[in-house]
Structure 1
């Protein structure tokens, strides 16, 4: 990435950082959360690397928003541990935090076990997931890890919605940023992993349809724990 300096010495993000390619702004919805998701996605997908600067003015200009929603997004990203504000250096992408990655996995696992237990105890109509499963299948066949990662997120969010826990999923979303960085690295670097994850989704749906609570909980535990293999255990 090429960076330059302003007359005041402020580091700005070079032209290779195209935030508009990560998402579009819908002005009928709150702007801050959308800016947050766009920058978060860039960090998760490693398009914004650790210690890369993120300039407020540049981001505002590219997305066509004022600095107010950008500052709102910055605050949430700082709380998530995905960016850091440093004196003189400005706002930078934070390095991968292994402790946060492990913590995010623990929290996500607890929620998802509850989600599948609720669903398997009283199996709902799972047809709303058919389109997501179809898109995952296409992504796997084309070895498209970017698309698979997107549809994987949609799949788990949809399960939480069906279980009546959409707010809980949004809370988990805010604490699993570093976990998602690990998950994305795995999906990008291990070509067979997406196929394994896809088959795990199919098996999980079968367990839910069959009303097998214990099997559903065991399957989701194994599935979520897969992200931990790339995170060193604490010393």
Structure 2
């Protein structure tokens, strides 16, 4: 491809000017099309991810490319891109000549994820305890208070959502985006563990203890409390579901 330098053009040669405009427009249009396709793929990925994490698409379910394109109102290209991103996230798997399926996470994988999650969360509370503000302390305490009310009303689903929200806010408050990204991937994989369980009552006092140690800027104590909390959850899972 010949690159034309505008400084060499003269005003009296309109044919050359038109050629330059055409050559410049083509890459711009290509870039716009690429951006549009990437935007559609990102939107498709987010929607499919929601369907998986909400349980509407369950582990082992096949996700049809054509059906999903029709459901989301996009072409099949963005859906294929979305599938590739979801595979990298560990939410779907490709089977040759069969298609794309929601990933199934077995007990061994869940156990490994709990071990990694414990290390990540212990680090997160340590970082946060050293820098937390009074406003952030009030926010975390407010979430724990809402968890208490959810238990009093026997609303397990609400408690579960608040539980996940509390842990995520701790990571967000650290300000470490890489730490948050790794944690998010681990928790999404754990969401696919179809035999998982949540026992609200035993863990509430653990959450309260963690928050109060963070509030007191007790980095070591908060870290150990969080590690114990995640380890307790891991052992409950293993005790309940081991063969």
| Same fold at TM > 0.5 | yes
Q: Does 1:144 align with 2:155?
A: yes
Per-residue CA deviation, residues 153-210 of structure 1 (Å, 9 max, x unaligned), is 22122111222223311222123433233498212xxxxx123333322111111112
Query: Hey, what does 2:129 align to over in structure 1?
Result: 120
Equivalent-residue separation in structure 2 for 1:93 and 1:73 (angstroms)? 13
Is the CA contact 1:113–1:221 (under 8 Å) kept in the aligned structure 2? Answer: yes
Is the CA contact 1:45–1:181 (under 8 Å) kept in the aligned structure 2? Answer: no
Q: Does 1:59 align with 2:68?
A: yes
Per-residue CA deviation, residues 93-135 of structure 1 (Å, 9 max, x unaligned), is 2222334323322322222111111222344221233553344
Equivalent-residue separation in structure 1 for 2:189 and 2:118 (angstroms)? 15
Is the CA contact 2:59–2:192 (under 8 Å) kept in the aligned structure 1? Answer: no
Any idea what SS the aligned residue of 1:186 has?
coil
Any idea what SS the aligned residue of 2:100 has?
strand
Per-residue CA deviation, residues 46-103 of structure 1 (Å, 9 max, x unaligned), is 4433321112233333344444443333223222333222234321222223343233
Per-residue CA deviation, residues 136-161 of structure 1 (Å, 9 max, x unaligned), is 33433343333333322221221112
Is the CA contact 1:104–1:177 (under 8 Å) kept in the aligned structure 2? Answer: no
Q: Which has the larger radius of gyration?
A: 2
Q: 1:75 to 1:98 in 2, by over 3 A?
A: farther
Q: 1:209 to 1:131 in 2, by over 3 A?
A: closer
1:228 to 205, 209, 234: 234
Query: Hey, what does 2:179 align to over in structure 1?
Result: 168
Structure 2: state its 5+ residue gaps.
1-38
Count of residue pairs the alignment pairs up: 202
1:66-145 equivalent positions in 2, closer than 5 A: 66-125=75-134, 126-145=137-156
Q: Does 1:204 align with 2:213?
A: no
Is the CA contact 1:83–1:91 (under 8 Å) kept in the aligned structure 2? Answer: yes
Structure 1: state its 5+ residue gaps.
1-29, 188-192
Superposition CA RMSD, Å: 3.3
2:188 to 177, 197, 218: 177
Q: Which of the pair is proportionally richer in helix?
A: 2
TM-score (ref. length: structure 2): 0.67
Equivalent-residue separation in structure 1 for 2:89 and 2:209 (angstroms)? 32
1:221, CA displacement in angstroms?
A: 0.7
Is the CA contact 2:143–2:162 (under 8 Å) kept in the aligned structure 1? Answer: yes
Equivalent-residue separation in structure 2 for 1:31 and 1:199 (angstroms)? 44
1:27-38 equivalent positions in 2, closer than 5 A: 32-33=41-42, 35-38=44-47
Q: 1:106 to 1:83 in 2, by over 3 A?
A: same
1:2-13 equivalent positions in 2, closer than 5 A: none
